[in-house]
Chain A
Amino acid sequence: MSGTPGVLIRLARQALANAREHPYLTALFGFWSFGYTIMVPQVLGGRYLPFLSEQMGGRPETLFVAFGLLMVNVVVFAFVVPFGLWMLVCWALGRDEEQDG
């Protein structure tokens, strides 16, 4: 399989393998990541949704778009970035057979 779906499937397989190989580390990163799902909206604060809604004209439906943007921030900082960091740490920990010490 090639293209974006192929890359995503390979990434998912690698993530599964990492989770099996480093369960405690995965749990730790999972907990950290979960904390950020609460922390990100907290840091962005109560003015975030009204501000974005006002920027888009202030109609009631714009609040849904603003909420969507807030969710994008949550996904990026509570999932994508911690996931990337976790993959990097797993890469550093794994593959002992390739070590050259």
Chain B
Amino acid sequence: MEGFLGTKADFWWDVTLTTETIVVAAFFMGWRFGKLHQGLKHQKAMLVATVLVTAWLAMYFTQQAIAGLSGFDGPESIKYGLYLPTIIFHSLVSTLAIVLSGVQIWSGFRWSRMERGEKVLTGKGAGRHRRMGKVTLLSYLLSVITAYMIYFLLFVIYAPLRTPEYGAAQSVGILTAIVVAAGAVLAVGGMLLARKTQAETA
């Protein structure tokens, strides 16, 4: 199944890259709200970004199961000198980013409270949350930069070793299921959060 970005990538690779960009953009938007001391917006944006990154992970594992590895068909010097080292570095920073996201969500709830209608960080974990946020965002930034490098090396500059074959119906079905599940989590989570915020404000 062909991709939609006009490169040599297949459908799943294009979905992976575009959705990863959206997810990282959501994290940066959340960080911006935090910098502006808009705690409630920051909390919502980060929770949405976390649901999106979880859905993205589900989608990425599906991609690995359906499309599998593409393989690099460029020169061996590029493969060993740039492509594979980039993949190794990407795996390191991506793992850290995912783990730290969970830690940050926990610490955000643990060290915040409502104050004059706004969510504020408080207590000894406040400084940690701010500093860890910077490390998390740096990890995401490095992860997305290396993801783009891998995509360009695989599908723009060179060609993949093999083009996976899979059915459109199966792919669209699984993708729809993931989107619906993420939407449901967002809707239920949003309602619960609104109720909790209302109770804290009252």
Question: Chain A residues in contact with chain B, CB under 8 A?
Answer: 32, 36, 39-40, 43-45, 47-48, 51-52, 55, 73, 76-77, 81-82, 85, 88-89, 91-93, 95-96, 98-101
Contact = CB atoms under 8 A, between A and B. Distances in A.
Interface string B46-75: 000000000000000000000000000000
Contacts of B138: 88
B3 interface: no
Interface string B115-147: 000000111111110011011001100000000
A55 B75 CA distance: 12
Ranked 8 nearest A-B pairs via Cβ: A101-B126, A99-B127, A92-B131, A92-B132, A77-B88, A92-B135, A88-B135, A101-B121
Contacts, number: 67
Contacts of B93: 85
A91 B130 CA distance: 11
A99 B132 contact: no
Interface in B93-113: 93, 95-96, 100, 111
Nearest to B87: A43
B88 A101 contact: no
Contact of B128 (A32, A36, A39, A93): A93
A99 B76 CA distance: 49
Given A92-B131, A96-B127, 4 more contacts: A43-B87, A77-B88, A85-B139, A93-B128
Q: Is the interface of A mostly helix, strand, loop or mixed?
A: helix
B85, B89, B123: most-surrounded residue (chain A CB, <10 A): B85
Contact of A101 (B100, B122, B135): B122
Contacts of A89: 96, 100, 132, 135
Contacts of B170: none
A95 B126 CA distance: 12
7 contacts: A40-B88, A81-B92, A91-B135, A96-B127, A96-B128, A99-B125, A100-B126
Contact of B89 (A52, A77, A92): A77
A93 B134 CA distance: 12
B84 interface: yes
Contact of A36 (B77, B80, B92, B121): B92
